[in-house]
Chains A and B, each alone.
Chain A
Amino acid sequence: GAGVSQTPSNKVTEKGKYVELRCDPISGHTALYWYRQSLGQGPEFLIYFQGTGAADDSGLPNDRFFAVRPEGSVSTLKIQRTERGDSAVYLCASSPNRDPGANVLTFGAGSRLTVL
């Protein structure tokens, strides 16, 4: 696609529920990133995929968070047993290069998650 697409744009759920957030990166981009942005803060790294594999998941806050990218394109971020503290905007980004440090990331508009 022309840009990074994220769905849903808004998700409201109740504490304890399971949530899936989807990211469709730019076609051909091998690297895909998930970030979380809380109100008034900068984005915080969650996980990085190179192709189908999670090359770095050191930013995932705990084992309730999991992400997959089974075919090396679309990725799904999964959050189990949601808590109010999970409320944030979840940003997805992709890039074409295999040189991660120099990557210019193209971001999606984000999925705003609200846990009541």
Chain B
Amino acid sequence: AQKVTQAQTEISVVEKEDVTLDCVYETRDTTYYLFWYKQPPSGELVFLIRRNSFDEQNEISGRYSWNFQKSTSSFNFTITASQVVDSAVYFCALSEGGTGANNLFFGTGTRLTVIP
């Protein structure tokens, strides 16, 4: 069965610090997709990134970067030089695309608070 673990329930950092949010996943499929979504206080989930299981290249987008390691089944998310606007709940999610599964399985989320 698919599973996503976000062990960090809450993290607080001071503005401009770097922070890494951990995500460990579990699946029996060889084809799958991993996602990160941001949920600000407004409540609307905002898509950040999607990676497929065949592409282990790390990705950087501005202050955001993602480290995908199949050997450890991890897909960690780093925010560099954090800002107050980064305060939100961040969800890692898994979709088993190869089986035709059609839904995202979310972790329990990590609440990030950036203190000015």
Binding site for B on A (CB under 8 A): 31, 33, 40-45, 48, 50, 55-56, 59, 89, 91, 93, 99-110
Nearest chain A residue, comparing its CB with the CB of B32:
A101
Nearest chain A residue, comparing its CB with the CB of B50:
A104
Contact B44 A110 (CB under 8 A): yes
Binding site for A on B (CB under 8 A): 4, 31-33, 35, 37, 42-47, 50, 52, 91, 93, 95-109
Q: Which residues of A contact B47 (CB under 8 A)?
A: 104-106
Which one of B91, B97, B105, B107 lies within 8 Å of A99 (CB-CB)?
B97
Q: Say whether, besides A101-B33, A102-B33, A109-B43, A42 and B107 are in contact (CB < 8 Å).
A: yes
Which one of A42, A59, A107 lies within 8 Å of B103 (CB-CB)?
A59
Contact A100 B109 (CB under 8 A): no
Q: How far is the CB of A30 from chain B (nearest CB, A)?
A: 12
Q: Which residues of A contact B100 (CB under 8 A)?
A: 100-101
Contact A101 B102 (CB under 8 A): yes
Q: Say whether, besides A100-B100, A101-B33, A107 and B44 are in contact (CB < 8 Å).
A: yes
